[in-house]
Amino acid sequence: GLILLFYLVFYGFLAALFTFTLWVMLQTLSSDIPKYRDRISSPGLMISPKPDTALEFYFNKSDSQSYLEYVTTLKNFLESYNDSKQSQNIDCTPGRIFEQNDAVVKKACRFNLSDLGPCSGKEDTNFGYSRGTPCVLVKMNRIIGLKPEGEPHIQCTPKDEGTVAITYFPPRGQIDLMYFPYYGKSLHAHYLQPLVAVQLAIHPNSTKEEIAIECKILGSPNLKNEDDRDKFLGRITFKVQMTE
Amino acid sequence: GLSSARAAEVLARDGPNALTPPKATPEIVKFLKQMVGGFSILLWIGAVFSWISFGIQLAQGAESPFDNLYLGVVLALVVILTGIFAYYQEAKSTNIMASFSKMIPQQALVIRDSEKKELPADQLVVGDLVEIKGGDRIPADIRLISAQGCKVDNSSLTGESEPQSRSCDFTHENPLETRNIAFYSTTCVEGTATGIVINTGDRTIIGRIASLASGVGNEKTPIAIEIEHFVYLVAGVAVSIGVVFFIISVSMRYKILDSIIFLIGIIVANVPEGLLATVTVSLSLTAKRMAKKNCLVKNLEAVETLGSTSIICSDKTGTLTQNRMTVAHLWFDNQIYSADTSEDQTTQPFDQTSPSWTALSKIVTLCNRAEFRPGQENLPIMKRVVVGDASETALLKFSEVILGDVMEIRARNKKVAEIPFNSTNKFQLSIHETDDPSDKRFLLVMKGAPERILERCSTIMINGKEEPLDSEKAEAFQTAYMELGGMGERVLGFCHLYLPEKEFPDTYQFDTDAMNFPTSNLCFVGLLSMIDPPRSTVPDAVSKCRSAGIKVIMVTGDHPITAKAIAKSVGIISATSETVEDIAKRLNIPVEQVNRREATAAVVNGMELKDMNSEQLDEILCNHSEIVFARTSPQQKLIIVEGCQRQGAVVAVTGDGVNDSPALKKADIGIAMGIAGSDAAKNAADMVLLDDNFASIVTGVEEGKNNNHLRTETLLINPQETGQCCPQGPDGLFLLQIPSVALAYEKAESDIMNRRPRNKRRDRLVNEQLAVYSYLQIGIMQSVGAFVTYFTVYAEQGFLPSTLLGVRVNWESNAINDFEDSYGQQWTKYQRTYLQWTGYTAFFVSITIQQVADLIIRKTRRNSIFRQGLFRNKVIWVGIFSQIGIALILTYGLGHVTALNFTPLRFQYWFVAVPFAILIWVYDEIRKLLIRRYPGSWWDKNMYY
């Protein structure tokens, strides 16, 4: 009995001590910006939709069930990009870093869904999957304070030439500098990260083949894309296999 | 004798006359034993588990399954390296052993084909006629057919230290008792004999005893039992923690396979990788130190056993005593004088002014046939080798110390006639010219059994004057004789007579056969008594044993009176305690009426022991704290050892003879004598005493006790394991365990020899309190400190503790490369993993820092650290600094070696855990304070380990 009480008190004390020290530690942190950001100096690339099975798309263009999940994911993802949701966002000056260090409330720049062309889901609610021209959205990870240099753009290349024709929206896969820098979740609540849609027109000869496509961010000296260990730093590889 | 042909026939039938050596374990088996024993098994299982989960992960196509492969390799390496180390250590001491037994092939003088031949002893067969002479080793069991003054030293067989005379007469039914049989491997001390070989090789008495020894099972050493116990404990803890986590992860909808890997990970994390190495290294360090103090340990586990010894059964001759007769007392002028009996006497302190002493010293010097071997002038007198029997040697050395060059004195007093000692006369006599040129008388000197000498005397010398020997003086002699005899000493009487010049002119021809000179009406001069005195270091050692709660039992073949006297003089029987007989004598009542419980001491005769059953023996061992077994045969030693073990004691036994080997083997720790010991004894023993000194055993015990740190080391390791299992820490965490070896250098807690030996049934190496204290208290405290650092690292990089809960699956998914932190930033898998490594490193560093506190508090179990002294053990600081050094190298030096998964760490994270380290120290000081303040309280019972 006594021993249980002892451990109750002992662990109670330790738990309190643990919570207290963590609380003290948390008090030293700002709620806006992490203390250190040296572990993410360069952003990773990611795609949407993201298949469960390790970035591999398998679908049958005549079977809507087979790509339903991708389409739904894309729809949900683009929900926040709807004009209705962007009412308080402002139009920024393209091609320039949009610094607003002094502003208390950081403004978010508008991203027009129409820039994504056929991949916006407005005209084609199936995002091209039913026609054998599936859309994949490529986005760059949000990193607080990141200011890309030069003219960053996404470029995707299939592993085997001629298997697929790639179209970019916005043209040339450009990522506009006006969306940077990001000021963090609490200060920059309505921030929308810029997207690049990649429409893959799969060559009729190459259906049923597994096509590996690598997308990279180019044109910016401070965005790395060739790290040996991190295969997603400034690049991403995914596979597409379409049947009819 | 036999013909060569017949001998060859018998040889072919019986085999050579040699003992079959004990089956030597092949080296490879010894080596493999090191690899798979006890702990190693646990580590192997850990390694296999790691490889299994590597296999599963590889089959699954996981990204980095190699971590588990490496972990398995590391575990296997630890076992193999430790095994090699332990093997090397033991091989080294085996080699020292081997050098002891450099056997010179023995020769025997045999009559074959009616010719005397020198043959190697192993060629002897039953029926051979052999001749032996003084100094020979008896080549087989032989029955004597002729003997001249033959004496044999049977000490290696029966433990009797006195040479036994041998003749052709059959005197006893028992072959061991009869006088006409000489045994294999005993030595002929003097005289010559001829005999017929009756037994050879393994059929000899000694051969039978030796084979008896190999039949006695070896007791498991306490440490082996402990380690087994510990392995079960650790396995139990590991498996149950693993299963709990397995259930949790399954109920949290993890995949079964992932959960299994997780389970294996936790089990492996709980394997104390470093403990095996720590135990081995710390035992060998202690073994090394013990070797310096003349205890050579044959197997490492014996070190720990010695530390937990609770009864020492010690031989007397040579172990407790110096194994040489020394003059202890003198009686002349109606007064007893004590002589110095220490090992390195150079002078004698007693009063030497009396003219009686001058006369006595002359007899002692002249009536003595012993001589120093030539060429030893530079050696101390006590170390010189003497030709002659034990008493004469004692007298020679005694007079050499007091008078100087004895040989020169003898030369000045030329011997003209002599009758050597024989058992019928019981005296020795010689007649000398005097060194006084003006005195032309001859001096007749005589020594021998006191009562016989006194019979021949009519006067007694008092203060240099001859006085008539009246009944009053005879009474005084009797009292002195009884007193000296009662001290267990061998007493000799001395008398002399100056032969009248007229009757014995210097041309007189003395005839020793006709005895044409007076041998009665002599002048009694004095008594000298001799004893094999205790070694000077022994009384102190015995009292140390006493305070450490170790019972010292003397087992000897000697006479009870001698045994008791020595026991009293070394403190085995303390000055105040009495035996049943003493009480009877004091109260003047018959022995049967004495309340046996009142007697704390007991002197048990071998004959009594023979008639006892085991309950009676148990009763004696239980009820008396001071016990002497006298007149015991070595076989009875085994019975005594078993009796002690029935009491639950850890028994150490010393022995030297072949016949001791069963007892040595049976004992928890057998201690063989390095100098006097036979090979068989050394083989059966766990430890060899290089200087044959009892005191060395006690220093050994002290070292072994200090090795109690072993316990603390195991417990030092446990908390890390608690911490380790939670986040699957970097593999390098086990490196932390290495500095704990430094505790082996810790000076003994000041009162270590005052603590009772641990009870092998109750006090486990890792007992409940210890496990509880280290796992549930210190371990948890360390984990708290380490987790604070861990969470700090994550929080300062953007992951607040609240975001970290329940994210394991997504966090570890290779497909998710936009994992969002608390600030809206997105992380790739590798970025997360790198952060995770930083977390581990921080965890590791925190544990390191807190281990410093842990290491310090483990220095003592009861005393305050401030009393023990923080800086007395320099090695521990070396350990602490090397630990921090290792941590520094791992974090900053090997930052890019992925296998170890360490990353450079911000400097401030090194200090996050410091307050927790201080807290651990303070907590432990309070714990120790309360234990000291309230002994026996609830706190003491639960918190003392």
pLDDT per residue as tens digits for the range B438-478: 888 888 999 998 988 988 999 999 888 888 888 888 899 99
The more confidently predicted of residues B766 and B431 is B431
Instruction: Give dist(CA A14, CA B146) in Å, integer.
Output: 89
Q: With a CB-CB cutoff of 8 Å, which residues 802-831 of chain B face chain A?
A: 814-818, 820-831
Smallest Cα–Cα separation from B916: which of B846, B856, B864, B866? B846
Cα within 13 Å of Cα(B721), Cβ side: 27
Q: Counting Cβ atoms within 10 Å, is residue B877 exposed (0-12), middle (13-18) or buried (19+)? A: middle
Q: What pLDDT does residue B68 have?
A: 72
ipTM, two decimals? 0.93
* pLDDT of B818: 86
Average pLDDT over residues A46-75: 84
pLDDT tens digits along B474-512: 899 999 998 888 888 889 999 999 888 888 887 888 888
Per the prediction, chain B carries an average pLDDT of 79
Distance in angstroms (rounded) separating the CA atoms of residues A117 and A93: 21
Q: What band does B730 get if pLDDT is binned at 50, 70 and 90?
A: very low
Contact A213, A57 (CB under 8 A): no
Q: State both tokens at B790.
A: 């861990």
Which DSSP state fits B291? H
Considering only CA atoms, which of A37, A79, A55 is closest in space to residue A184?
A37
Q: Provide the number of CB pairs (under 8 Å) joining chain A to chain B.
A: 114
CB contact under 8 A, B817 and A141: yes
Are A18 and B823 within 8 A, CB to CB?
Answer: no
Helix-helix angle B634-646:B614-623, to 10 degrees:
70
- CA–CA min distance B788, chain A (Å): 6
What's the whole-number mean pLDDT along residues B274-283? 68
Residue B558, pLDDT above cutoff 60: yes
Categorize the per-residue pLDDT at A143 as very low, low, confident or very high, splitting at 50, 70 and 90. Answer: very high
Q: Reduced to 3 states, what is the DSSP secondary structure of residue B549? A: coil
DSSP B474-527: HHHHHHHHHHHHHTT-EEEEEEEEEEPTTTS-TT----TTTT-S--SSEEEEEE
For residue B727, pLDDT beyond 50: no
* A contact test, residue of B772, B820, B826 with most A CBs within 10 A: B826
Chain A positions touching B835 (Cβ under 8 A) are 39
Q: Do A185 and B797 touch (CB under 8 A)?
A: no
Show residues of chain B in contact with A7, CB under 8 Å. 776
pLDDT band (50, 70, 90) for residue B75: confident
CB B206 within 8 A of CB B193: no
Asked if B903 is an interface residue toward chain A (Cβ–Cβ < 8 A), one would say no
Which residue in B825, B828, B906 is closest to A233 by CB distance? B828
Residue B660 catalytic? Answer: no
Q: How far apart are CA B486 and CA B379, in angstroms?
A: 34
Least confident segment among B263-272, B397-406, B561-570, B662-671? B263-272
Out of B67, B136, B315, B656, the active site residue is B315
Contact (CB, 8 A) for B538 and B568 = no
CB nearest to A55's CB, from B796, B815, B834: B815
Q: What is the H or E stretch that residue B361 is in?
A: helix B355-366
CA distance B521 to B392: 25
Q: Long-range contacts made by residues B451-455, C-beta under 8 angstroms, separation at least 24?
A: B451/B481, B451/B493, B452/B425, B452/B426, B452/B427, B452/B493, B453/B427, B453/B493, B453/B494, B453/B495, B453/B522, B453/B524, B454/B493, B454/B524, B455/B520
Residue A86: the pLDDT is 84
pLDDT on residue B718: 47
C-alpha B849/C-alpha B844 separation (Å) is: 9
- Predicted confidence at residue B5, as pLDDT, reads 86
**Mutant choice from A18, A47, A233 vs B, greatest count of B C-beta within 10 A:** A18
CATH number corresponding to A34-242:
2.60.40.1660
> What does the pLDDT read at residue B863?
81
Question: What was the pLDDT predicted at B445?
Answer: 92
Question: Is residue B775 pLDDT above 50, yes or no?
Answer: yes
Q: Map out the domains of chain A as residue ranges.
A: 1-30, 34-242
Instruction: Tell me how far the alpha carbon of residue B133 is from its chain's centroid.
Output: 36
> DSSP labels for B116-153?
EEEEEGGG--TT-EEEEETTPBP-SEEEEEEEEEEEEE
Which of A232, A235, A237 should one mutate to test binding to chain B, selecting the residue with the greatest count of B CBs within 10 A?
A232
Cβ-defined contact of A25 to B938 (cutoff 8 Å) = no
Cβ B496 vs Cβ B522: under 8 Å: yes
Q: What is the DSSP string of chain A?
A: -HHHHHHHHHHHHHHHHHHHHHHHHHHTS-SSS-S--TT-SS-BEEEES--TTTTEEEEETT-HHHHHHHHHHHHHHHHTTSGGGGTT-BPPPTTS----TT-SS---B---GGGGGGGGSSS-TTTTGGGT--EEEEEEPP-BT----S--EEEEEESSTTSEEEEEESGGGB--GGG--B--TTTSTT----EEEEEEEE-GGGTTS-EEEEEEEES-TTS----SS-TTBSEEEEEEEEE-
CB contact under 8 A, A191 and B821: no
The token pair that represents B866 in the structure block = 């401030």
Q: Which residue of A36, A39, A187, A225 is the best one to mutate when testing the B interface, meaning the one whose CB has the most B CBs within 10 A?
A: A39
Residues of chain A contacting B781 with CB distance shorter than 8 Å:
14
By Cβ distance, the residue of A17, A22, A232 closest to B828 is A232
Rounded distance between C-alpha atoms, residue B850 and residue B915, angstroms:
9
Section A66-79 average pLDDT: 89
Interface touch A25/B781, C-beta < 8 Å: no
Q: Which residues pair with B219 in a beta bridge?
A: none
Q: Name the residue facing A142 among B776, B781, B824 (closest C-beta).
A: B824
Give B548's DSSP letter: T
Mean local confidence (pLDDT), B430-436:
86
Chain A hits for B817, CB-CB cut-off 8 Å, are 44-46, 141, 232, 236
Structure-token pair, residue B537 = 């270091």
Structure confidence at residue B878 as a pLDDT band (50, 70, 90): confident
Q: Which residues of B touch A6 (CB under 8 A)?
A: 942
Q: Of B600, B598, B666, whose CA–CA distance to B627 is shortest?
A: B600
CB contact under 8 A, B795 and A6: no
Mean pLDDT of B74-90: 78
Tell whether B784 lies on the interface with A, counting CB pairs under 8 A: yes
Strands (E), B360-410: 371-372, 386-387
Type of residue at A57: F
CB-CB under 8 Å, B777 with A10 = yes
| d(C-alpha B446, C-alpha B431), whole Å | 9
Q: In chain B, which residue's Cα lies nearest the Cα of A38?
A: B797
Contact B828 A229 (CB under 8 A): no
Share of chain B above pLDDT 70, in %: 82
Q: Which residues of B touch A33 (CB under 8 A)?
A: 823
Judged by DSSP in three states, B625 sits in coil
Burial B881-909 (b: 16+ CB within 10 A, else e): eebbebbeebbeebbeebbbbbbebeeeb
pLDDT value, residue B941: 78
What lies within 8 Å, CB to CB, of B138 at 6+ separation is: B132, B152, B182, B183, B184, B185, B186, B187, B188
Phi, psi for residue B27 in degrees, rounded to 5: -55, -40
Which of chain B's residues have a Cβ under 8 Å away from the Cβ of A40? 825, 827, 831
> Which domains, ranges and CATH numbers included, belong to chain B?
4-16+103-215 (2.70.150.10), 27-93+219-268 (no CATH), 295-321+535-700 (3.40.50.1000), 326-512 (3.40.1110.10), 708-943 (1.20.1110.10)
* Cross-chain Cβ contact B831/A44 below 8 Å: yes
